[in-house]
Amino acid sequence: MDQLMNDLIEEKINDLTTLGLISIEKEFRNESNLELDVVLIKITNEVDGQTGVSHFQLGNRSIELQVVDAHKISQILISGQNRLQIDLLLHGTILIEKNSYVTELRKNIVEFPINNRKYKISVEFSKMIRRYSDGKLLFTKGHFLDSFNEILHSLHHLARLSVIEHGLYPEVTVWQQVKHLEPEIYKLYDEMVTGEESLEKRIELLLIAINFAITSKTKLGASHLIEMMQQRDEPWSVEHLLSDPELKECGSDLLVTIHYLVQKGIVDVVKLETEVEGVFHRLYYIK
């Protein structure tokens, strides 16, 4: 191991904020498309500490150091927004860990506890509906390329949701997972990307297929949200829904899901008077 790595590890051993240090070299993970020769990920317990990315050059080797706090790691695991980083966390070499932090983190990803699954399913379901709705609107306006982009993203969320449904965590190569687990969904993706029909026709057919998938997976996709809303007797305001820690990662996509569930008759609306005559708060509850 080169001197920089030795110096860095020695420094982090004495750093009380370090929970784990992971290393991965480009030649061993070509499928991850690493741009530098070595990537180091330092996980810290300092939520407000200094995080970010630094690059070093040692001889002919380029090194990237990513510093990320444990809270951000939890967010990434739920949102799935940085799947490459998740892949590195899973497959990198553990150089340092305190109290088996990295080992337990990997165990949590691989075993994928049911509570984490339900939460992540709700995130993927909300994002799928959002992308589908945006794609459908663009399609009706004749913006076929933009619609194609949105619908393809919606299909990606459907793919990840399906992988989670099988008790697995979606990997960087999610379509390889889907090809074995849900060949019907993989076929939709293949036809969307390589189909010989016109772009308009491919989008039209996929809109029908995704609408069917959303309908068939509503019970699964909305289960976490429904359970959360049933935990209190009072109706929920939008502000309460968006700020709830158990729903926060859905972000604004959650509003589209609420609207969808209202349309399906699963969620009902109640009006609450405000101080202004004729103006009401719009609150939501499970029927």
Residue 287 lies in a domain: no
Q: In Å, what is the CA distance from 149 to each residue of 99, 134, 136, 159, 286?
A: 44, 10, 11, 15, 33
Q: Range of 58's domain?
A: 3-111
How far apart, in whole angstroms, are the C-alpha atoms of residue 205 and residue 140? 14
In sequence order, the 6+-apart residues with CB closer than 8 A to the CB of 167 are 112, 117
Three-class secondary structure of residue 141 per DSSP? coil
Claim to verify: residue 45 and residue 148 sit in the same structural domain: no
Overall number of domains in the chain: 2
Residue 280 lies in a domain: no
How high is the pLDDT of residue 81? 66
Could you tell me the CATH number of the domain that includes residue 253? 1.20.120.330
pLDDT > 90 fraction of the chain, expressed in percent and rounded: 41
Claim to verify: residue 93 and residue 190 sit in the same structural domain: no
Claim to verify: residue 103 and residue 132 sit in the same structural domain: no
Of residues 145, 127, 138, the one with CA closest to residue 221: 127
Residue 229 lies in a domain: yes
How far apart, in whole angstroms, are the C-alpha atoms of residue 140 and residue 241? 31
Q: At 136, is the pLDDT very low, low, confident or very high (cuts 50, 70, 90)?
A: very high
Buried b (16+ CB within 10 A) or exposed e, 144-172: beebbebbbbbbbbbbbbbbbbeebbbbb
Of residues 113, 110, 225, the one with CA closest to residue 170: 110
How high is the pLDDT of residue 13? 61
Q: At 130, is the pLDDT very low, low, confident or very high (cuts 50, 70, 90)?
A: very high
Amino acid type, 113: P
How far apart, in whole angstroms, are the C-alpha atoms of residue 43 and residue 21? 6
How far apart, in whole angstroms, are the C-alpha atoms of residue 189 and residue 179? 10
Claim to verify: residue 205 and residue 249 sit in the same structural domain: yes
Claim to verify: residue 100 and residue 164 sit in the same structural domain: no
250 secondary structure, DSSP code: G
How buried is residue 131: exposed, middle or buried, by Cβ count under 10 Å (0-12/13-18/19+)? buried
How far apart, in whole angstroms, are the C-alpha atoms of residue 7 and residue 72? 26
- Helix H or strand E segment including 108: helix 101-111
At 196-213, the pLDDT tens digits run 899 999 999 999 999 999
Q: Which two tokens stand for residue 120?
A: 């992540």
At 24-40, the pLDDT tens digits run 887 655 444 567 788 88
For residues 189 and 159, is the Cβ–Cβ distance under 8 A? yes
30 secondary structure, DSSP code: G
For residues 64 and 36, is the Cβ–Cβ distance under 8 A? yes
**Mean model confidence pLDDT for the chain:** 86
How high is the pLDDT of residue 29? 54
Claim to verify: residue 144 and residue 266 sit in the same structural domain: yes
Does residue 3 register a pLDDT over 80?
no
How high is the pLDDT of residue 285? 92
Pick the range with the lowest mean pLDDT from 18-32, 62-76, 191-205. Answer: 18-32
How high is the pLDDT of residue 155? 95
Residue 213 lies in a domain: yes
